[in-house]
């Protein structure tokens, strides 16, 4: 039997990714993007569905009688109704760990951009202001070192541990808060969320989004952040209440760098798009996971998941 393999949002994987290996398993149908109203029609004859972020609901699965396997092109599995899939005998597979190094690297890229005021200094040079100054240097926007600073990690999973290790290599003093209460480390001290927020110079979030972490940072605890502290969210959108963060960024000098937002892409009228002190905020469009190497590993994981399933 020749299987039909449907990729619902291939554009999110990148045009540079060679998907030829998938052809060994069947006829591959690629859709750049898929709207909610289009899902049923696109998968009605599919045997294997590949989706990054397109939601696959119970209603969709009930109208796709041939589906045997759903491959999630990500680690998170919240875009598939897992209970419905199980009830229908459909196997659901994700790919874990493929983007760890990419996310860790982007964490520090965002940190350095904010901490060393790189946007300002690039503008000074590009606009010719440095040339006109007559000075060989510009110390108008002082930056501090990571060494000796306190770095708090929210969510000490695989990515959080790697970030902690790199931060330690830079000389930071790392502590952490466990959102699940299950991650315990003998290498780093465990602190309450309030202590972490009020004492750390840098805080990075690497936690999943669930009932325990939704709006974990909000108007009751964001005011605890130290002046000039840097908050990095590379976990999930929704962990930080974005309206409350926008207010705090306008109110005083703290900094935030976000790669994930509750709604993606961000609405043009979102409070974060209209803060007064724009130099205090960096937003990247959910790209921490997207290094070339990470996406190649992701594809390898999908191919392996399909191969393993078919062998059974």
- Residue that the structure tokens 């908050």 belong to: 231
Strands 69-72 and 91-93: parallel
30, 10 Cβ separation under 8 angstroms: yes
User: Helix axis angle, 118-126 relative to 100-115, nearest 10°?
Assistant: 60
In the structure encoding, which two tokens stand for residue 272, read together?
């974060």
24, 64 Cβ separation under 8 angstroms: no
What lies within 8 Å, CB to CB, of 141 at 6+ separation is 117, 120, 121
Active site residue 47: no
Active site residue 286: yes
What lies within 8 Å, CB to CB, of 91 at 6+ separation is 68, 69, 70, 85, 309
**Burial of 269 from C-beta contacts in 10 A (0-12 / 13-18 / 19+):** exposed
Residue among 59, 145, 264, 300 flagged as catalytic? 264
The CA distance from 156 to 184, in Å, is 8
Active site residue 115: no
Residue among 117, 236, 280, 295 flagged as catalytic? 236
The CA distance from 167 to 180, in Å, is 22
Q: What is the CA radius of gyration of the chain?
A: 22
| Residues assigned a catalytic role | 236, 264, 286
């Amino acid at each position: 039997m020749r299987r039909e393999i449907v990729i619902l949002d291939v554009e999110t994987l990148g045009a540079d990714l060679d998907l030829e290996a998938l052809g060994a398993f069947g006829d591959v149908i690629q859709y750049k993007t898929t709207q909610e109203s289009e899902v049923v029609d696109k998968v009605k004859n599919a045997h294997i569905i590949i989706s990054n972020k397109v939601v696959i609901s119970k209603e969709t699965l009930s109208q796709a009688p041939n589906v045997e396997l759903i491959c999630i092109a990500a680690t998170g599995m919240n875009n598939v109704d897992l209970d419905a899939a199980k009830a229908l005998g459909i196997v659901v597979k994700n790919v874990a760990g493929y983007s760890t190094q990419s996310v860790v690297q982007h964490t520090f890229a965002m940190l350095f951009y904010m901490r060393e005021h790189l946007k300002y200094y690039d503008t000074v040079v590009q606009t010719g202001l440095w040339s006109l100054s007559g000075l060989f240097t510009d110390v108008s926007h002082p930056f501090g070192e990571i060494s000796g600073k306190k770095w708090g990690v929210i969510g000490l999973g695989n990515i959080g541990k790697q970030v902690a290790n790199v931060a330690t290599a830079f000389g930071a003093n790392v502590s952490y808060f466990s959102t699940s209460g299950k991650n315990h480390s003998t290498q780093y001290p465990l602190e309450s969320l309030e202590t972490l927020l009020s004492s750390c110079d840098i805080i990075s979030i690497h936690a999943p989004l669930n009932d325990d972490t939704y709006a974990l940072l909000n108007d009751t605890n964001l005011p605890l952040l130290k002046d000039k502290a840097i908050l990095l969210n590379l976990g999930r959108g929704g962990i930080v209440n974005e309206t409350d963060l926008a207010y705090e960024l306008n109110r005083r000098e703290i900094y935030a760098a976000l790669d994930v937002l509750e709604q993606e892409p961000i609405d043009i009228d979102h409070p974060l798009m209209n803060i007064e002190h724009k130099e205090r905020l960096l937003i990247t469009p959910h790209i921490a996971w997207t290094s070339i190497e990470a996406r190649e590993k992701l594809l390898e994981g999908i191919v392996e998941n399909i191969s393993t399933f078919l062998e059974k």
